[in-house]
Structure 1
Amino acid sequence: MPVRLVITDAMWERIEPLMPADPVRGRRWADHRRTMEAIAWKYRTCSPWRDLPEELGPFQTAHKRLARWAVDGTWERVLAAVLAVADAEGDVGWTVSVDSTVCRAHQHAAGAQKADMADRSEPGDHALGRSRGGLSTKVHLASDSRARPLSLHITAGQAGDAPAFEAVMAGLRIPRTRLGRPRTRPAVVLADRAYSSRAIRGHLRRRGIRAVIPQPADQVSHRLRRGRAGGRPPGFDAEAYKERNAVERCIARLKQWRGLAMRTDKLAVAYLAALRLAAILVWARR
């Protein structure tokens, strides 16, 4: 049975110039396109590495390439380059939505040795924790107005949304294809009530970003109870808030890959690299 591939010729034309060149010394890289197809197949199907079809090459090659490029930042650089081209063509919707989703972790994801905190690329808890559903990882992300991922960050499943907000915004950094500083400031940020805090509103206000975040009922009642001391209610644009469904659609798009909807990786860097690969293919397909 032939393997169903996901990288078209048009997509590869955009991705190929961004891939690392062959090393000056030593063995040449195995074919980048086939290796990316192999990694995508593994995460689309949520299959074990050893079940990789022969047409996609040795599983060791795909597994090592995923890990190596996760540690040296290759996946992050390729995603930034794809985003830079899209932004230069005016194809990035800068009404940004922020949200998170919990992904169950398979039992095979547990059991990794405690990470050395000297290695900043891997969190000490491997971004694994216990929420109501059991062992899980939480994916925090920002999407553009067309439901495409701009920034990705992962934590343990029981972690709150608000503490990860600044990390998500820090990951929103799109280089310019020509001279100029990377673009890091969206026009508007949409988020649900979980992000309604003074710290988040202050962070956005200092950066000149309009916040469209509803207040939860307890914050409203507390402000009213204080009378004049409670201050004015924060501005809220109900019409603009209707566009927040973009991040929900973005999450649904990423979770079409079964290996992302359920984490099987022991290391957080490998799981985050797979999320970035999915984001690269989403942007390359535009």
Structure 2
Amino acid sequence: MGRGDLTNAEWDRLESCLPRGGARGGRWSDHRRVINGVLYRVRTGVQWRDLPERFGPWETVYKRHRRWSADGTWQMLLSRIQAAEDAADGIDWDVSVDSTAVRAHQHAAGARKAPPAAVPQKGAERGTNQVDPTTETGRPSGGGGQIGECLGRSRGGFTTKIHLVADGRCRPLAFVLTPGHYGDGPQLERVLEQVSVPRTGVGRPRTRPDQVLADKAYTSRRNRRHLRRRGIPHTIPERLDQQRHRKNRGSRGGRPTGFDSERYKKRNTVERTINRLKSFRAVATRYEKRAHIYLGTVTLAALVIWLRT
């Protein structure tokens, strides 16, 4: 077993969740070896062709990662591990929301305009939208191009942004991808919609946190109204310009928003979660042209964090 490979204990937790049959009814190559090969690449960021020979043919490793990113297998594995943790009361449902910009490598550009028919999400519910296919105006981007692949220009250059929800133990519960120039606040509803931890027994998946913590980027009236409608307590500071505007309106400005400064100190969990994700070099720098394959890379990194925490 090489450094960074799945341990026996981690493999035992994962093995029962893996798909049994291969493509067209054939047999898969050894799951553990191939997953360790994908994990090696996600951890080090090397080119696929430079994978060590102990993982087998690099084409097999790459195609498995590409297929499981497209059909939702990585997301399915993450959901099952989260479900087992929730059943053991191992999830802290005081969650924090934030985003991080990821610099795209020059080879990440140039994807063809017709994306693969798709990007079906077999492992998750059909209605999920973890990759943003629209422009900021809400109109479709034409099925391709840079925005369709979640690449945009921001202060950091050519970037993709990961919006994520972290539990109170510094583990990613859910995330979505957008181009790097998208704002944080408008994505709050989307990223919270991705929180869906299945039950191991009978019952609907858990989708509502006990508490949501976020910084001033999420302090819009729309976000607060959405959280109140869902019955989710939240701790979000109010910006100074909003405070002045409310006071200038007098009684029409409404009451001040409630803010618990002690509880807000726990928001550092999402910052620590981002640091954990970016310790994987293929997450910290985006090399993939296709957004759904990069999403699979992020999902595998999150899966390893859950297995090892």
Normalised TM-score (structure 2):
0.89
Change (3 A) 1:239 1:43: same
Measure the CA separation in 2 of the matches of 1:115 and 1:207.
37
What CA distance in whole angstroms lies between the structure 2 residues aligned with 1:206 and 1:29?
A: 46
Shift of 1:46: 1.1
Task: Flag structure 1 segments of 5+ consecutive residues without an equivalent.
Answer: none
Deviates most, 107-116 or 15-24: 15-24
Cα 1:182/1:221, change in 2 over 3 Å: same
Answer with 37-46 or 83-92: which moved more.
37-46
Distance 1:118 1:59, change over 3 A: closer
Match of 1:110 in 2: 109
1:5 Cα shift?
Answer: 3.1
Question: 1:144 is matched with which residue?
Answer: 167
Report the 3-state secondary structure (helix = DSSP H, G, I; strand = E; otherwise coil) of the residue aligned with 1:221: helix
Shift of 1:25: 5.4
Mapping 1:2-21, distance limit 5 Å: 3-21=2-20
In 2, distance between residues paired with 1:34 and 1:240? 43
- 3-state SS of paired residue (2:173): strand
Letter in structure 1 aligned against 2:228 = R
Separation in structure 1 between the aligned mates of residue 228 and residue 213 of structure 2, nearest angstrom:
14
Match of 1:41 in 2: 40
Asked if 1 retains the 8 angstrom alpha-carbon contact of 2:214 and 2:267, the reply is yes
Whether contact under 8 Å (1:115, 1:126) holds in the other structure is no
Q: Where do 4+ consecutive residues of structure 1 move more than 6 Å?
A: none
The Cα shift of 1:202 comes to: 0.9
Amino acid corresponding to residue 222 of structure 2 in structure 1: A
Report deviation, 1:118. 6.6
CA contact (8 A) 1:3 1:53 kept: no
Counterparts of 2:56 and 2:115, CA distance in 1: 32
Structure 1 Cα separation of the partners of residues 23 and 163 of structure 2? 38
Distance between the aligned counterparts of 2:161 and 2:80, measured in 1? 26
Match of 2:78 in 1: 79
1:18 maps to amino acid: C
How far apart are the structure 2 equivalents of 1:141 and 1:275? 11
Rate the CA distance shift 1:3–1:213 in 2: closer, same or farther, 3 A: same
SS in 2 for 1:136: strand
Shift of 1:16: 0.7
Tell whether the 8 Å contact from 2:103 to 2:156 is kept in structure 1 after alignment.
yes
Equivalent AA in structure 1 for residue 97 of structure 2: V
- 1:261 has 2:284 as partner: yes
Q: Give how far 1:6 is off.
A: 2.8
Contact 1:195 1:213 in 2 (8 A): yes
Residue in 1 that maps onto 2:126: none
Instruction: Write the mapping of 1:166-185 to structure 2, written as runs, cut at 5 A.
Output: 166-185=189-208
> Quick one: distance in 2 between partners of 1:216 and 1:6?
45
The size of the alignment, in residue pairs, is: 285
Aligned residue in 1 for 2:258: 235
**Closer, same or farther: CA 250–24 of 1 in aligned 2, 3 Å:** closer
Q: Which residue does the alignment assign to 2:68?
A: 69
1:95 to partner: Cα distance:
0.2
Q: What is the aligned counterpart of 1:199 among 212, 222, 226? A: 222
Aligned to 1:93: 92
Supply the AA of the counterpart residue of 2:108: A
Question: What SS does the aligned partner of 1:18 have?
Answer: coil
Structure 1 contact 96–189 (Cα < 8 Å) conserved: yes
Deviates more, 1:223-232 or 1:123-132: 123-132
Cα separation, 2, equivalents of 1:117 and 1:206: 37
Is the alpha carbon distance of 1:13 and 1:238 closer, same or farther for their aligned partners in structure 2, counting shifts above 3 Å? Answer: same
The alignment's TM-score, normalised by the length of structure 1, stands at: 0.96
Instruction: State the Cα deviation string for residues 3-58 of structure 1 (Å, max 9, x = none).
Output: 42331111111111111112495431011111111111112111111000001111
Hey, what does 2:123 align to over in structure 1?
Answer: none
**Which residue of structure 1 aligns with residue 57 of structure 2?**
58
Deviations 1:91-126 (A, max 9, x none): 000000000000000000000012459746563320
Measured at CA, do residues 25 and 94 of structure 1 come closer, stay the same or move farther in structure 2, by a change above 3 Å? same
Describe the SS at the equivalent of 1:135. Answer: strand
Match of 1:156 among 169, 175, 179: 179
Q: Which residue in 1 is equivalent to 2:140?
A: none
Query: 1:62: how far off?
Result: 1.2
Is the 1:98–1:191 Cα contact (8 Å) retained in structure 2? yes
Bigger CA drift: 80-89 or 18-27? 18-27
| Cα RMSD (Å) | 1.6
Change (3 A) 1:115 1:215: farther
CA-to-aligned-CA distance 1:55-90 (integer Å, 9 cap, x gap) = 111111111111111111111111111000000000
In structure 1, give the amino acid aligned to 2:158. Answer: L
